[in-house]
Amino acid sequence: MTINYDFSAFPTLETPRLILRELIADDDDAVYIIRSDIEVTRHNTGAPYTDIQQARTLISDIAWNYKDQSEIRWGITLKTDPSWVIGMCGYNYWIRRDQRVSIGYDLARAYWDNGIMTEALGAICRFGFEQMGLHRIEADVSADNPASGRVLEKLGFKQEGRLREQYWEWGEFHDLLLYSLLRREFERGVP
């Protein structure tokens, strides 16, 4: 498959309920609200944000890494209010030679359990396989976060393994679960 995506213009994606768009400086309040919520960040690397400057730095880093063509990360918005970011998702790295990426995501707690992340990730998986020419999308999930694993499984991701006591957070070691989705599996009917 040919890689069609060249980073010349940030790709905006639409689903029935969502617009996935580029994060901008004005999104700092929304990003801060998401990343300062301990329930949202509990299973991510790093402590909850305590200062809005951390959100500004994240947005700036995401923009820089996009220009550097090393990652693509979208802000998730509802079509009814595309100015307010309710979550983020994207590819944290892209290994072109292997045609693989690593996916990451988080969502404001008020929007959990509504299928929003499944819908958003489905759109970026489709973009990855169809526009970036990917062969494999990887994800790693805290074993303490079964809801995140269920989101991936709804999209056809398969659990490949468990890294026992792989990372230290909140005063203890935690296991990490590894997932992947291959292009041929996606083409067989993933939403």
Q: Is residue 7, in this structure, part of any structural domain at all?
A: no
Q: Tell me the per-residue pLDDT of 68-97, one tens digit each, with 9 for 90 and over.
A: 999 999 999 999 999 999 999 999 999 988
- Domain assignment present for residue 23? The answer is yes
> How many CA atoms lie within 13 Å of 52's alpha carbon, on the beta-carbon side?
7
Rounded to two decimals, the pTM is 0.92
Q: What is the 3-state secondary structure (H, E, C) of 88-156?
A: EEEEEEEECCCCEEEEEEEECHHHCCCCHHHHHHHHHHHHHHHHCCCCEEEEEEECCCHHHHHHHHHCC
Token pair in block for residue 19: 């617009």
Is residue 21 within 8 A of residue 77, CB to CB? The reply is yes
What's the structural domain count of the chain? Answer: 1
Who has greater pLDDT, 190 or 152? Answer: 152
H or E stretch at 30: helix 28-36
pLDDT at 166: 86
Domain contains 184: no
Mean of per-residue pLDDT scores for the chain: 92
Query: Residue 84's domain spans which residues?
Result: 13-139
- Average of per-residue pLDDT across 140-161: 93
- Residue 70 and residue 103 in contact, taking contact as beta carbons nearer than 8 Å: no
Task: Let me know: does 93 contact 101? Beta carbons within 8 Å.
Answer: yes
Per-residue pLDDT for 5 more than 70? yes
Residue 47, in any domain of the structure: yes
Residue 169 pLDDT class (50, 70, 90 cuts): confident
Cα separations (Å) of 147 from 9, 44, 154?
A: 33, 13, 11
Per-residue confidence (pLDDT) for residue 4, from 0 to 100: 65
Domain membership flag for residue 20: yes
* 3-state secondary structure (DSSP) of residue 3: coil
With bands split at pLDDT 50, 70 and 90, how would you rate the model's confidence at 148?
Answer: very high
- Please check whether residue 136 is in contact with residue 169, taking contact to mean a CB–CB distance below 8 angstroms: no
In a domain, 151, yes or no: no
Question: Does residue 33 sit within a domain?
Answer: yes
Does residue 171 lie within any of the structural domains? Answer: no
pLDDT at 1 over 70: no
Q: Residue 42's domain is classified under what CATH number?
A: 3.40.630.30
